[in-house]
Chains A and B, each alone.
Chain A
């Protein structure tokens, strides 16, 4: 009896057909995720709750003529955490940046295809990128609070930039956002202190609070814990689980265990293609694709 048998060589990216690449028909699988009950799923279908929050169709993206995303099709479910995993350079961050229209801001970058946010085609000519970005918060790998601003002003900055002057309203939103980010109790007496005086983990939660202040519908997180220690990472992970009650989270992570812990759905990308997408429990217990199995088991290379 072997330990698990040696896998076949990696297929080239062209081996993954576009049919396989379509992640619309997600497999049903029992899991610890929030939407496991078939009865619940059936009833939510009746009321249209299963309609995706974000639907990506035939998305291609290029950097300087070089293709970075190939025919991506994926439906992101509302109030769920979706993890994007895959080796460096596979297109995870590019997909995230396409979703909030940051990709097109890069010189010589281009994108084609469709991304529907609720009923809005965000790449439609009539669609305003500023409004799209306002509906989506983004948290980056390294905490990036505004260095010259206080904790309070970091969170309030988005509101002020959007012309909100009502001080009571701003104060309430700042408090709610800091609470939402699990930071209020730690900073409520130090709101005037500089944001960068906080620890790394607190700074990252401050950035999350700053994103939450704009009341986004989707929170995009690009390796939000890769620069944090295990305790701070753990707090962010707990926070992610809480946040999904009110918004939809898409997280890029290189940490397989983190993806397994925090997400309801996982998408595995490789060389710009979406290889497999499904319930997180299914992906990590019984992936359908050999390539996924090899990546998550550390059998690459």
Chain B
């Protein structure tokens, strides 16, 4: 016989997986728009980002209610705590997706810029997101290590890229249009943050499964 709390936990799972799907699509859309210099998706990305924020509030309400009504323990408690954190992560994905497209909006068309660094980092970050979501769907903490390794690589790439942009600026002190360097630096920062939040999702999956906090810390 199902426990009463299971109804709430199932509802929580549905919302979280819904958020995962929306967050993933939103980030992909944002990066594609940046790549194609297409600002048409800005409104749509803003809307989905707001929806993710709304769903995060819904998760927060539901988890609070489940705690108040059922006083969960053990796996149930860890699952609920993790859902709070994971929903925040997905909400941040939405926000960074919006920030990426907003960069395009602020700096104007960037079709002449070399976007290769951003694109190659975005490919890694999208894979991290996807792996994180898979780990969550399957509650498979064996995928965590892959995400952690990729995050290390993203960090290195991020710092290396920033140094390269700085060097570009120094080499051309009279160059008046640094939009490419600045926009790339900003977007790399957002990608780096998405990479971090992918790791937090992996941490949460690990916590649900083992009860131990992140092995990275």
Contacts and interface: CB of A to CB of B under 8 A. Distances in A.
B211 A285 contact: yes
Nearest to A288: B211
Interface residues of A, number: 19
A287 interface: yes
Contacts of B74: 284-287, 292-293, 296-297
Nearest to B5: A298
B212 to A, nearest CB: 8
B76 interface: yes
Contacts of B73: 256, 260, 284-285, 296-297
Interface stretch (B54-62, B123-131, B133-141): B133-141
A1 B71 contact: no
Given A1-B136, A256-B73, A297-B72, A286 B13 contact: no
DSSP class of B's interface residues: helix, strand, loop or mixed? helix
Interface of A: 1-5, 256-257, 260, 284-287, 292-293, 296-299, 301
Nearest to A4: B75
A254 to B, nearest CB: 14
B156 interface: no
B79 A4 contact: yes
A29 to B, nearest CB: 10
B10 interface: yes
Contacts of A260: 71, 73
Nearest to A260: B73
A301 B210 CA distance: 25
Interface residues of B, number: 27
Contact of A3 (B1, B13, B71, B136): B13
Contacts of B76: 3-4, 297
24 contacts: A1-B137, A1-B138, A2-B13, A2-B139, A3-B6, A3-B9, A3-B10, A3-B13, A3-B79, A4-B75, A5-B139, A256-B73, A260-B73, A284-B73, A285-B77, A285-B211, A286-B74, A286-B210, A286-B212, A292-B74, A293-B75, A296-B74, A297-B72, A298-B3
B17 interface: yes
A57 B58 CA distance: 51
A5 B10 CA distance: 11
Contacts of A2: 13, 139
A297 to B, nearest CB: 5
B27 interface: no
